[in-house]
Structure 1
Amino acid sequence: MPRPTLEDIFAEPDEFGLLNVTLRAASSRPSADGGAAIMRDVTGFFQRTGRLPDADADDHEEMRLGTIWSRMSATASEAMRNEDHLGLLTRSVQKREPSWRDDPDGDEIPDSLDDILGDDEFGIDDDVFSLRHVTPSAERLVPDHRAEFTPCRDFANFQALFDDMQAALDAGDRVATRIEKRAIIEPLEGDFFIRNGLLAYIAEKGEMTMRGGARDHRLRVIFSNGTESDPLMSSFRKSLNDDKTARVVQRPGMGPLDPEFDADRLDLTGTIYVARTLSTDPALAADRAILHKIGVTSQDVSRRVADARNDPTFLLAPVEVVATFELKNLSRAKVEALLHRFFMAARPAQLFITDRFGKKIRPQEWFYVLPDHVSQAAALIRDGQLHLYRYDVSQQKIVLK
């Protein structure tokens, strides 16, 4: 049953007479002495201060006296005139300063915000409305790199995966469910989606970064038509929410602990890259020769670093790739974890940057190492001997344990 409206409630019979309220008129009866006492009080106040009491005064007694005086002096009685030895009633009828208690005149009420700002009484300088030393919104956070569709050079590595997934969907062995509106989607490596009628495979999820104060990742998405793209996770999530036909393919198994849960994930061979910051920040520029980022990616390295100046992972500055090392039949994710753990002692403890929101971000992929050190570590990983060595920070070299 719909709730009754306010009109319905008041239209009902007033059984108890609750609405029969008679407002008592304000008393207009003059005081017993015709206001003579008030006249004497105001006279005494004027003799002490040289002015009439102000109804807007901070002092409570003056405010009370001023309020009574402003009301009674407008219709002064004969008794008040007899007590007015200083001509205060004549002073009172003269134009007084407006009070915040007064109702404004109709022509004083502004019609728009322009009328308020255009009032000369404010004395607003036009420079207040002119922004200087501010980056226009159209240029703010403009990416150097946009996630466009490009041919996937190693699509042969994914062809069988797409064929098997399409066959499983056709046979009903795998289920694609609709993405709820405004659903929070967290893509993982190995996830399949259907976007714009194409199967989309999450081949790589880059290291975590902070964009606009929110956690984000750069993805490598392979499509069943042989193209790929590398959007930010937030952008990919938005594209799924905007596509009414988008679907997520449910993973096999009962959950992350089930061995079949990661059956769709490929251990992609990739490239180890070493990057040097080109930041103009004096604190970073001083260590540029030895401070390097160690990363591993399955996509083209130049695409990975293209948007570095907007990516806190790259210290919000362009970078120069100083070395790359190809991986052969090795898991990209495992190699990256091994390298970061191996050089952990050389990770700067106090390295942080402040984004445009004033939030401190501490990237974890930067180390005080040289490209040669990373080359040696990569060779040891390839030969399966990295566990026999350690990185000595004091000597700045890789030594036997």
Structure 2
Amino acid sequence: MPRLTLEEIFSEPDEFGLLAIKTKPQAAGSANSSLPIIADVTRFYEHHGRLPDPNAASHEEMRLGTIWESLAKAPTEDLRQADRLGLLSLAEDKAVVSWRDEASEDEIPASLDDIFAEDDFDVQPDLVQLRHVTPAAERQLPDHRADFVPCRDFDQFVGLFDTMQQALDSGAREASLIEKWAIIEPCEGDFFIRNGLLAYIAEKSESTQRGGARDHRLRIIFSNGTESDPLMSSFRKSLNDDKTARVVQRLGLGPLDPDWETDKTALSGTIYVARSLSEDPSIKSQRDILHKIGVTSQDVRRRVADARNDPTFLLAPVEIVATYDLQNLSRAKVENLLHRFFDEARPAQLFIIDRFGKRISPREWFYVLPDHVSKAAQLIKDGQLHLYRYDRSTQQIVKR
């Protein structure tokens, strides 16, 4: 059965008189009770030069304006006679706009520009001006992509891949499936299977902070003779995205087991000394004596290519001022020795603020000259570094 419309409902007989409106008779003396109101409104108008606002923040003005608005709609003769300033005519001239009223065509805005052009929408420039926002042109853009390139020293890894493949084929080593969203912490010497290729973690560089989280740059050698240097976070994601990815279990029962480091190979590398090209006044003023000391097994230019996005490099490009080759020495041990040797020259107050507002204090920067690093590297090769120390007061390497 179709529902009745409102017109049909109200057209039916009103048996119980529900729609009959009975007006209350005006109480005696109500006209006289409005006279004090007109007196108060008159005093308000003389003092402020306007009628009281029923929407005012002040409670007294709101109360007076509400009562006056009600009286002005149907003023009595006594009220008109008491209105010596003609305030009732001001109330009649003031048009009451309701959201129920039909708007005229010239009042309807044609666009958003017309809306914001209204005086009521004036906004202070400070409220719409963006602050503490990095311009799009200056946002974090990678200077370096971890592309696959031919591995120039692949001959050092061929034996590792052959041995690992034979161990997997014979069952001597197992490859476990990487579960979805598993937390993976690649270490130097680890083997993975990604996209059907054996992937060897040859190097894990210094810790850095990216997006508020710790990260590392990896050097990964693949069994097809290529290599790449992605961030550890990117490598994790690639493993999680590959449904066939696997991790090769290590030998031994843990880090204290002699077999645990069997897959880790000691690669020859390069000691590099870098100078910051930062425009930060506190860094630029000491550019000639402040240097970063690092060790890497990959091409040094690739290592520093993304320096301006890496807090380890003070979030700025760097200039390589010196390099020294390593032969048959552990990169990690050499880097640790150099950092401990020059520990007295480490700047105590060096820090940067990353784009997330976090304070970071890189630990690989020292007040030393490239010649000092060169002499220390030679002492390491000769096995005599322990016989010397760095004197910060004279800025010289002296005998103990």
TM-score bracket for the superposition, by shorter chain length? 0.7 to 0.9
Structure 1: stretches of 5+ with no match in the other structure: 1-26
In the TM superposition, residue 119 of structure 1 has moved relative to its aligned partner by: 4.4
Q: 1:37 to 1:273 in 2, by over 3 A?
A: farther
Instruction: Give the Cα–Cα distance (whole angstroms) in 2 for the partners of residues 104 and 188 of structure 1.
Output: 71
Q: CA deviation at 1:122?
A: 3.4
Distance 1:227 1:121, change over 3 A: same
Q: Closer, same or farther in 2 for the Cα pair 1:274/1:81, shift >3 Å?
A: same
Deviation at 1:63, TM superposition (A): 1.3
CA distance in 1, matches of 2:336, 2:266: 13
User: Do the aligned partners of 2:199 and 2:222 also contact (CA within 8 Å) in 1?
Assistant: yes
Alignment correspondent of 1:39 = 34
In 1, Cα distance between equivalents of 2:194 and 2:29: 88
Shift of 1:116: 3.8
Offset, 1:169: 3.6
Q: Assess if the C-alpha contact under 8 Å between 2:116 and 2:122 holds in 1.
A: no
Tell whether the 8 Å contact from 1:179 to 1:248 is kept in structure 2 after alignment.
no
**For 1:34 and 1:258, how far apart are their aligned partners in 2?**
105
Counterpart in the other structure of 1:398? 397
Taking the TM superposition and a 5 Å limit, the aligned residue runs for 1:16-35 are: 32-33=27-28, 35=30
| Alignment correspondent of 1:48 | 43
- Structure label with greater radius of gyration: 2
Q: Contact between 1:195 and 1:245, CA under 8 Å: does it hold in 2?
A: yes
Percent of matched pairs sharing the same residue: 66
Whether 2:180 is the aligned partner of 1:180: answer: yes
Distance 2:164 2:322 in 1: 37
CA distance in 1, matches of 2:366, 2:319: 15
Shift of 1:90: 4.0
Q: 1:351-401, CA deviations, whole angstroms, 9 ceiling, x for partnerless residues?
A: 222333443322111111122211221122222222222111111111222
1:269–1:328 Cα contact (<8 Å) kept: yes
Within-5 A mapping of 1:2-401: 32-33=27-28, 35-36=30-31, 39-50=34-45, 51-71=50-70, 73-74=72-73, 76=74, 80-84=76-80, 85-86=82-83, 88-96=87-95, 103=99, 107=103, 116-117=115-116, 119=118, 122=121, 137=136, 140-172=139-171, 173-181=173-181, 183-401=182-400
Distance 2:241 2:44 in 1: 73
Q: What is the match of residue 14 of structure 2?
A: none
Q: 1:67-93: CA deviations, max 9, x gaps?
A: 34434543x37xx44344215444333
Please list the CA deviations of residues 282-325 of structure 1 after superposition, one character each: whole Å capped at 9, or x if unmatched.
43233222221110001011211222233222223322222211
Instruction: Give the SS at the match of 1:289.
Output: coil
Question: 1:139 deviation in Å?
Answer: 6.1
Asked if 2 retains the 8 angstrom alpha-carbon contact of 1:152 and 1:228, the reply is: yes
Instruction: Indicate how the Cα distance of structure 1 residues 128 and 37 shifts in structure 2: closer, same or farther if over 3 A, else same.
Output: same
1:115–1:199 distance in 2 versus 1, CA, 3 Å: farther
CA RMSD of aligned residues (A): 3.5
Code of the aligned partner of 1:180: K
How does the TM-score come out when normalised to structure 2?
0.78
Q: 1:234, 1:162 → 2: CA distance?
A: 24
Distance 1:257 1:110, change over 3 A: farther
Bigger shift: 317-326 or 167-176?
167-176
Equivalent-residue separation in structure 2 for 1:192 and 1:243 (angstroms)? 15
Tell me, yes or no, if the aligned pair for 2:268 and 2:331 is still in contact at 8 Å: yes
- Alignment size in residue pairs: 367
Are the equivalent residues in 1 in contact too, given 2:208–2:215 (CA < 8 A)? yes
3-state SS of 2:136 partner: coil
Query: TM-score by structure 1 length?
Result: 0.78
Residue segments in structure 2 that go unaligned for 5+ positions in a row: 1-21
Cα distance in 1 for partners of 2:343, 2:192 equals 36
CA drift of 1:340 comes to 0.3
User: For 1:31 and 1:263, how far apart are their aligned partners in 2?
Assistant: 105
Letter in 2 for 1:177: L
Aligned partners of 1:392, 1:288: CA distance in 2, in Å? 20
- Matched to 1:141, the amino acid is Q
Q: Distance in 2 between matches of 1:228 and 1:106?
A: 72
Aligned with 2:157: secondary structure? helix
Q: Is the 8 A contact 1:45 1:53 kept in 2?
A: no
